[in-house]
Amino acid sequence: MKIKLLFSLMLFAASIASFADNKPSADDDKGLIKICIMYPFAEGKKFDMAYYETKHMPMVAAFLGTNLVKYTIEKGVASGIPNQPLPYMAIGTFYVKSLSEYQKAIAPHRDTVRADFANYTDVMPVILVSEVVR
Amino acid sequence: MKIKLLFSLMLFAASIASFADNKPSADDDKGLIKICIMYPFAEGKKFDMAYYETKHMPMVAAFLGTNLVKYTIEKGVASGIPNQPLPYMAIGTFYVKSLSEYQKAIAPHRDTVRADFANYTDVMPVILVSEVVR
């Protein structure tokens, strides 16, 4: 009886550990495709981070379904090179499993996504598609 | 005795779960500072990803100590806007807790870091300091 109890509790412990282990870690990103939407800084241009974070990005994320692994948002602070202007005000990034699935999912919503730009910015973004090496 | 065993095994299970839980997740990045070193694409310019991944980035990472949470490397694939050139060949990113600690740690090694550029690229990077919003 004691052995049975021991065994079932060890199974329980292992199942908790493997559940907790399912969280995304840095290494899990390797091989994923990133779509980085980068908003260049320019004097007098605007970027409404609150709208971007609570409305725009969740809307686009919802179009991407299970192909979307996660998305991130960052706020530009400074250039890393002294006396250089800030390169980007903000960057939004979608981490997806498949670029073609991303393109297929976004295509029917392209006009909706673009029309929403005016609600938070007046600059045109630069968009980089890249692959996570590490 | 059975109760004692049960209790100690539950503690054991909890400790395994909390250990596994310490892995970085997407949400853990919030508030971190990112230093993104972005290498612009230009026709005929080079970027040696193998050297960058195995020599340059580990060297710089080693200067940063416990302030460094993680670093990532990505390889530019395409522009996300049709008929636009690839914006960046590669991006290396350090996620740190403190920008001032990063600057203090890098300062004495700046010449070493810059001298190593020629070993993998012939373009000057753009460097963005940003804050993880999400």
Instruction: Specify if A113 maps to a domain.
Output: yes
How far A86 CA lies from chain B's nearest CA (Å)?
7
Write the CATH number for A58.
3.30.70.100
Closest chain B residue to the Cα of A58, Cα to Cα: B134
Closest chain A residue to the Cα of B74, Cα to Cα: A132
Please give the helix or strand (H or E) that residue A13 lies within, else none.
helix A2-20
Instruction: Specify if A74 maps to a domain.
Output: yes
Question: What ipTM describes this predicted complex?
Answer: 0.81
Question: Which of B53, B77, B131 best probes binding to A when mutated, by most A CB atoms within 10 angstroms?
Answer: B77
Establish if B75 touches chain A: CB-CB under 8 angstroms.
Answer: yes
Instruction: Specify if B21 maps to a domain.
Output: no
Percentage of residues in chain B with pLDDT exceeding 70? 80
pLDDT digits over A30-49, tens only?
A: 999 999 999 999 999 999 99
Which DSSP string do the residues of chain B spell out, in sequence order? -HHHHHHHHHHHHHHHHHHHTTS--GGGGTT-EEEEEEEE--TT--B-HHHIIIIIHHHHHHHHGGGEEEEEEEEEEEESSTTPPPSEEEEEEEEES-HHHHHHHHGGGHHHHHHHHTTTBSSPPEEEEEEE--
Establish if B62 touches chain A: CB-CB under 8 angstroms.
Answer: no
Instruction: Specify if B17 maps to a domain.
Output: no
Instruction: Specify if B98 maps to a domain.
Output: yes
Instruction: Specify if B114 maps to a domain.
Output: yes
Closest chain A residue to the Cα of B130, Cα to Cα: A76
Hey, how many other C-beta atoms are within 10 angstroms of the C-beta on A40? 16
Establish if A53 touches chain B: CB-CB under 8 angstroms.
Answer: yes
- Residues B44-70: what's their mean pLDDT? 98
> How many domains, in total, are found in chain B?
1
Interface size between A and B, measured as CB pairs under 8 A: 149
Instruction: Specify if B87 maps to a domain.
Output: yes
pLDDT at res. A123: 97
Instruction: Specify if A84 maps to a domain.
Output: yes
pLDDT digits over A67-89, tens only?
A: 999 999 999 999 999 999 999 99
B75 is in which domain, residue-wise? 26-131
pLDDT digits over B18-51, tens only?
A: 444 444 445 689 999 999 999 999 999 999 999 9
Per mean pLDDT, which range of A9-13, B91-95, B127-131 is the poorest?
Answer: A9-13
Strands A68-79, A126-132: pairing is unpaired
